[in-house]
Amino acid sequence: NAGVTQTPKFRVLKTGQSMTLLCAQDMNHEYMYWYRQDPGMGLRLIHYSVGEGTTAKGEVPDGYNVSRLKKQNFLLGLESAAPSQTSVYFCASSTTGGLGQPQHFGDGTRLSIL
C-alpha cells in the first residue's frame, strides 16, 4: 500500500552541488507533479508530466530539471543548488480517469542548501 514514495526524506547540500530527488508511484497513474512548499506561499508547481516520456514547466521551473523515463518514476534534478532552493519538495500523481481526479501526495523531501 505504498502509493507515492519520495527519496530521500532529508538532504543537506552545499551551494553548487547537484542532486536528484526520486518519486515513485505504484498506482499506474499517468500524471505526476513536483511541487515546492515554502512558508506562507502554499505549494507551487515546479514541473509536471502527463505521461511517460513527457514533461512540462509549471509555475517555478527555473533551476530544476525533470525526467519521466518510466511511467512509475518522476525525477527532479538540481544541477547547481542555490540557497533559494531550500524548501520542502512534494511529489504527487493522479489518474486520467475523468476531470478533477485527486492528486496523491508523497510525504515530502526536506532539502537544505547551505
The residue to which cell 540557497 is assigned = 83
Residue 89 bridge partners (DSSP): 36, 109
Which CB sits closer to another protein, 42 or 62? Answer: 42
Single residue of 46, 75, 92, 113 touching another protein by CB under 8 A: 92
Q: Which cell goes with 43?
A: 505549494
Q: Judged by CB under 8 A, which stretch of 11-19, 20-28, 70-78, 101-109 contacts another protein?
A: 101-109
- 90 contributes a contact to another protein by CB under 8 A: yes
Q: Judged by CB under 8 A, which stretch of 16-24, 34-42, 60-68, 71-79 contacts another protein?
A: 34-42
Q: Which cell goes with 54?
A: 513527457
Phi-psi group of 41: left, alpha or beta (phi > 0 → left; psi -120 to 50 → alpha; rest → beta): alpha
